[in-house]
Every structure is written in structure tokens, then in C-alpha cells.
């Protein structure tokens, strides 16, 4: 169940080209804080 949620998180929130960092529930532990968030 947890793996499925992480897949959905990557698909809809933490997208490679436009991550939606303000909506991310794990942004405080993000290992890539220098990403360019979606505008």
C-alpha cells in the first residue's frame, strides 16, 4: 500500500519536470531541495 502511494505521489505531485513542492507532504525531508518547483 505504501509503495502505491509513493508511486502516485511521484506521478501527481513530485513530477520530474514540474514538481509541485508547495503541495508535497514530504518536502521537509526532501533530498532534492534545489529543484525548480512549478510556478
**Residue 30, CB half-sphere, CA atoms under 13 Å: how many?**
20
Predicted confidence (pLDDT) per residue in 10-24, tens digit: 999 999 888 998 899
Mean of pLDDT values over 15-34? 86
Q: What is the pLDDT of residue 38?
A: 66
Q: Domain span at residue 26? A: 1-39
Q: Examine the pLDDT at 8 and tell me if it is beyond 90.
A: yes
Once rounded to an integer, what is the mean pLDDT over residues 30-37?
77
Q: Please check the confidence at residue 6 and state whether its pLDDT lies above 80.
A: yes
Task: Give the residue, 35 or 19, on which the prediction is more confident.
Answer: 19
Q: How many residues are there in the chain? A: 39
C-alpha cell at 8: 502516485
pTM for the complete prediction? Answer: 0.67
DSSP string, 1-39: -HHHHHHHHHHHTS-SSS--GGG-TTGGG-S-TT-----
**Total structural domains within the chain:** 1
Amino acid at each position: 500500500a505504501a509503495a502505491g502511494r509513493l508511486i502516485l505521489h511521484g506521478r501527481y505531485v513530485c513530477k520530474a519536470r514540474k514538481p509541485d513542492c508547495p503541495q508535497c507532504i514530504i518536502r521537509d525531508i526532501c533530498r532534492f531541495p534545489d529543484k525548480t518547483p512549478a510556478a
